[in-house]
Amino acid sequence: MAGSSHGHTPAAWTGVIIAFIGFCVAGAFMVMAQPVGFWVGIGIVLLGGVVGGIMRMMGMGQKNEHPVHQVADKGQPAGAKG
């Protein structure tokens, strides 16, 4: 699941799914004109970001092993072997 593409990690998926659920809850309560439920949904959206961040700190996020993230040697372009 965790490949070289940005965001394909358990931390990213979990955070986005929780935020999406919060978005749906907030939208439903907004249509029903229930401000308390709307703000609870917004709280769930924020919770998704917090959970994703905690999971990333626990090592379930993307690793910085991608060649673009590596610093090149002096005088060498990124990705060049020297």
Question: What is the Cα 11 distance to its own chain's centre?
Answer: 6
In-domain check, residue 43: yes
8 Å CB contact between 18 and 53: no
In a domain, 65, yes or no: no
20 is a domain residue: yes
- Predicted confidence at residue 40, as pLDDT, reads 97
Distance from C-alpha of 78 to C-alpha of 62, rounded to nearest angstrom? 20
Mean pLDDT of the chain: 81
Place 11 in a pLDDT band, splitting at 50, 70 and 90. confident
Assess if residue 28 is contained within a domain. Answer: yes
> Looking at the 3D structure of the chain, how many domains does it have?
1
Confidence of residue 36 (pLDDT cuts 50, 70, 90): very high
The boundaries of the domain holding residue 48 are: 10-60
d(CA 54, CA 20): 18
First CA to last CA across the chain, in angstroms? 32
At 67, the pLDDT band (50, 70, 90 cuts) reads low
What per-residue confidence (pLDDT) applies to 2?
46
Residue 1 has a pLDDT of 47
The verdict on residue 67 lying in a domain is no
The pTM score is 0.69
Position 73 in a domain:
no
